[in-house]
Structure 1
Amino acid sequence: MRLHRNLVFAVIDALNLIFNEGEYADKVIEKILRYDKRWGARDRGFIAETTYDIVRWKRLYTEIAEAHEPYSRPHLFRLFGVWCVLRGIRIPDWKQLEGTPQRRIKGRFDELSKIRKYRESIPDWLDELGEKALGGSLWTREIAALNQQAEVILRANTLKIQKKQLQALLSDEGIETETLKGYPDALKLKERKNVFTTKTFKDGLFEVQDASSQLVAPFLEVQPGQRVVDACAGAGGKTLHLAAQMENKGQLIAMDIYESKLKKLKVRARRNGVHNMETRVIENTKVIKKLHSKADRVLLDAPCSGLGVIRRNPDSKWKLQPEFLERIKGVQRDILRDYSKMVKPGGKLVYATCSILPEENSEQVQHFLASEAGHEFTFVKEQSILSSQSGFDGFYMALMEKSN
C-alpha cells in the first residue's frame, strides 16, 4: 500500500480531535471527509478505517509508542507509525515518521499481547468489570469479538419490498449481499460499501441495522391494529421495524426525551413509507400519564453503557466511566418503574439494552418484577446475545406480560 500524505494528515487531524478534544469518532470522520471533495471512495475508506483502527487499539498503540496525553502531533505520528508496522505497511520517507523503531515495535507488541487489557486495548476498570460479570474465559472471548470491525447489515423494509427483491436490486447497483439464517429481513454486505448513496436506500427499501438489533421488534410480538409505544425511540431504527411488523396498521407512538432525535425519525419514517407513527417528546410526566394502561405493547430500549456495540463505537471504551454506569442503572430502574405503567392489562412489555452486563439486564428485570411497580407483570422469556456467540452486536431483551 502506498501512503498519500494528504490522507495520512487527515487521519492525524481526526485523531487529534478524538483524543485531545474529546469529540465523537463518527462526527469527526464526517467532518474530516468534507475536507476535500476530490477524495474518492477508496481515499475516504482509508481515512475512516485507519482512524477507527487506531482509536480501537488506542491503549495498545500508545503503550508501544510511549505516547501520553495530551497527544502532541509527533506523538500522533508515532501512533500512526505503530499502525503501519503492525500492518506490514512500508514506512514512507517522511520527516514525521523518521526513525520509526520497527523491530522494537514488533517486540513490544509480542510482549503486551500476552496481557488482555493491552491486547484488547481497554481501561483497567472495564477489564475488571467484564471479568467479574462474565467470568475470565467468556470475557476474554467477548471483548475479542467486540474489538472486531462490525459488518454492514441491512434490514429490508417489508412495507415496500421483500428481501429477495431487495437483494436483486442491490446487485444491480453493484452491491452484493448474502442472507443470514435466523434473521428473516437481514442482508449482509459481502464487501463494505457506502449504501446511503444508492437509489434503493433513497427509495426507503432498507435501513442499516445490526442483526442483533433486528431481533428486538419481533420479540415484542406486535400485531397489526394494536397501539404500540416505543418509549425510548431515539432515531428510531426499532420504531421503523415495529411499523413494518404492524403492516402500517394501528397506532405507533415513538417517544423520547430528545426532540432532535424524533425529528430525524420523522424524516426516516417518510422515506420508509410509515403512516401509522406519531412522535411525542417526553417533556414531563404528563406525557407518560396520558398513556397509563392504554398500550397493547411497550418497548423500553433503555439507555445503557453500550458495551454490546463497541465494535461500531470504539471510542466509547475511553468515554465510558464507572460513575456513568452507576448513574445509568438508576435511570433504567426509573424507566422500568414509570414507563411500564403505559401497558394495559393483558398487554406486553419488552425491556432491552445493547449491553452485555447482567447488572443492566437480567438483574434490572428481577429488581423490577420484585418491586411494587412490577407486581402485576409476569416474566415470559429473555434472550442474551453475546458478540462472541452470534458474531453481531451484544444485546439483551426480556418479555413480560401484564395480568388482566
Structure 2
Amino acid sequence: MRLHRNLCFSVIDGLTLIFNEGNYADKVIQQLLKRDKRWGARDRAFVAETTYDIVRWKRLYAEIAEVKEPFDRDNLWRMFAVWATLRGIKLPDWKYFEGTPLRKIKGRFDELSKIRKFKESIPDWMDEIGRKELGDALWSKEIAALNEQADVILRVNTLKTTKEKLQTELFDLDIETDFLPDYPNALKLKERANVFSTEAFKNGFFEVQDASSQLVAEYLNVQPGMRVVDTCAGAGGKTLHIASLMENKGQIIALDIYENKLHELKRRAKRNGAHNIEPRAIDSTKVIKKLYDKADRVLIDAPCSGLGVLRRNPDAKWKLQPEFIDKIKETQQDILQQYSRMVKVGGQLVYATCSVLPSENQEQVAAFLKSEAGANFTLLKDNKVLAHKSGYDGFYMALLERKQ
C-alpha cells in the first residue's frame, strides 16, 4: 500500500479532534469524508478505517511510540508510524517519519502484547472491571472480540420488501450479502459499502442494525394489534423493528427523554412506512403514570456502559469513566422500578442492554425481582450474548411476565 499525503493529513486532523477535543469519532469521520469530492471509495475507506484503527489501539500505539496525552501533531505522526509499521506499510520519505525506529516498534509490540491492558488497548479500570465480573479467561476472549472491526449488518424492513428481493436489488448494485441463520431479517455485507446512498435505503427497505440488536425486538413476543411501549426509544432502531413485526397493526408508544431523538425517529418511521408509532417525550412523570397497567408489552432498552458495542464505538473506551458505570446502574434499577408499572396483568417486559457486565444485566433483573415492584413478575428467560461467541455485538436481554 502506498500512503497519500492528503489522506494521511485527514487522519491526523481527525485524531486531533477525537483525542484532544473530545469529539465523537463517528461525527468526525462523517465530516472528514466530505472534505474532497474527488476521493473514491478506496480513499474514503482508508480515512475512515485508519482513523478508527488508531482510535481503537490508542493506548498500545501511544505506549510503543512513547508519547503521552495531550498529543501534539508530532505525537500523532509517531502513532501513525506505529500503525503503518505494524501493518507492513512502507513509510514514505516524509519529514514526519524521519528516524522512525522500525525494529524497536516491532520489539515493543511483542513485549506489550503479553500484557492484556496494552495488548487490547484498554484503560486499567476497564480491564479490572471486566476481569472481576467475567473472570480472566472469559474477559480475555471477550475484549479481543470487541476490538475486531464490526461487520455491516442490515435489517430488512418487511413492511416494504423481503430479504430475497433486497438481496437481489443490492446484488445488481454490486453489493453482495449473505443470509444469517437464526437472524430472520438480517443480511450481512460481504464487503463494506456505502449502503446509505442506495435507492433501497432511501425507500426504507432496510436499516443498518447489528445482528445482536435485532434479537431484542424478536424477544418481546409482539403480535399485530397489541399496545407496545418502547420506553427508551432513542432514534428508534428497535421501535421500527417492532413496527414491522406488528405489521403496522396496533399501537407503539415510543418514549424518550430527548425530544431531538424522537424527531429523528419520526423521520425514519416515515421512510420505513411505519404508521403505528406515536412518539412521546418524557417531560414529566405524568407521561409514565398515564400508561400504568396499560401495555401488553414494554421494552426497556436501558441506558448502559455500552461495553458490548466497542467494536463500532472504539472511542467509548477513552470517554467512559468508572463513575459513569456506578451511576448508570442506579438509573437502570430506577427505570426498571418505574417503567415496569406500565405492564398490564399477563403482559410482558423485556429489559435489555448493550453491555456484557453481569452487574448491568442479570444482577439488575435479580435485584428488581426481589423488590416490591418486581414481586409481581416472573423471569421467563434471558439471553447473554457475548461477542466472542456470536461474532456480533455483546448484548443482554431478559423476558419477564407480570403474573395474574
- Above 0.5 in TM-score? yes
Mapped pair 1:50 → 2:37: no
SS state at 1:297 partner: strand
Mapped pair 1:398 → 2:401: no
SS state at 1:170 partner: helix
Instruction: Report the alpha carbon displacement of residue 35 of structure 1 after superposing the two structures with TM.
Output: 1.8
Equivalence for 2:202: 202
Quick one: distance in 1 between partners of 2:282 and 2:269?
19
Quick one: distance in 2 between partners of 1:303 and 1:213?
14
Unaligned runs of 5+ in 1: none
Equivalence for 2:61: 61
Equivalence for 1:252: 252
Equivalence for 2:14: 14
Equivalence for 2:214: 214
Which structure 2 residues correspond to residues 310-325 of structure 1 after superposition, within 5 A?
310-325=310-325
Instruction: Report the alpha carbon displacement of residue 104 of structure 1 after superposing the two structures with TM.
Output: 0.5
Amino acid at match of 1:36: D
Amino acid at match of 2:177: T
Unaligned runs of 5+ in 2: none
User: Deviations 1:164-214 (Å, cap 9, x if unpaired)?
Assistant: 111111101111000111001101000000100011111111110000000
Aligned residues: 404
Amino acid at match of 1:95: K
Mapped pair 1:28 → 2:19: no
Quick one: distance in 1 between partners of 2:6 and 2:351?
47
SS state at 2:358 partner: coil
Equivalence for 1:72: 72
SS state at 2:359 partner: coil
Quick one: distance in 2 between partners of 1:82 and 1:29?
21
TM-score, length-scaled by structure 1: 0.99
Equivalence for 1:382: 382
Equivalence for 2:233: 233
Which structure 2 residues correspond to residues 145-184 of structure 1 after superposition, within 5 A?
145-184=145-184
Mapped pair 1:307 → 2:307: yes
Quick one: distance in 1 between partners of 2:172 and 2:254?
35
SS state at 2:228 partner: strand
Equivalence for 2:39: 39
Quick one: distance in 2 between partners of 1:101 and 1:234?
47
Amino acid at match of 1:384: K
Instruction: Report the alpha carbon displacement of residue 362 of structure 1 after superposing the two structures with TM.
Output: 0.2
- Runs of at least 4 residues off by over 4 Å: none
Amino acid at match of 1:16: T
Equivalence for 1:5: 5
SS state at 2:384 partner: strand
SS state at 1:93 partner: coil
Instruction: Report the alpha carbon displacement of residue 403 of structure 1 after superposing the two structures with TM.
Output: 1.4
Moved more, 32-41 or 79-88: 32-41
SS state at 1:279 partner: strand
SS state at 2:148 partner: coil
SS state at 1:17 partner: helix
Quick one: distance in 2 between partners of 1:237 and 1:372?
32
Which structure 2 residues correspond to residues 358-373 of structure 1 after superposition, within 5 A?
358-373=358-373
Equivalence for 2:277: 277
Amino acid at match of 1:279: P
Instruction: Report the alpha carbon displacement of residue 39 of structure 1 after superposing the two structures with TM.
Output: 1.5
Quick one: distance in 1 between partners of 2:197 and 2:53?
24
Amino acid at match of 1:73: R
User: Deviations 1:202-227 (Å, cap 9, x if unpaired)?
Assistant: 11111100000000001000000000
Equivalence for 1:141: 141
Instruction: Report the alpha carbon displacement of residue 110 of structure 1 after superposing the two structures with TM.
Output: 0.5
TM-score, length-scaled by structure 2: 0.99
Which structure 2 residues correspond to residues 89-128 of structure 1 after superposition, within 5 A?
89-128=89-128
Quick one: distance in 1 between partners of 2:16 and 2:320?
19
Amino acid at match of 2:249: K
Question: How large is the RMSD of aligned CA atoms in angstroms?
Answer: 0.6
Quick one: distance in 1 between partners of 2:235 and 2:113?
38
Instruction: Report the alpha carbon displacement of residue 317 of structure 1 after superposing the two structures with TM.
Output: 0.6
User: Deviations 1:50-74 (Å, cap 9, x if unpaired)?
Assistant: 0000000000000000011110110
SS state at 1:212 partner: helix
Quick one: distance in 1 between partners of 2:97 and 2:266?
48
Quick one: distance in 2 between partners of 1:290 and 1:172?
49
Instruction: Report the alpha carbon displacement of residue 144 of structure 1 after superposing the two structures with TM.
Output: 0.3
Amino acid at match of 1:89: I
Instruction: Report the alpha carbon displacement of residue 238 of structure 1 after superposing the two structures with TM.
Output: 0.4
Quick one: distance in 1 between partners of 2:48 and 2:277?
35
Quick one: distance in 2 between partners of 1:266 and 1:94?
50
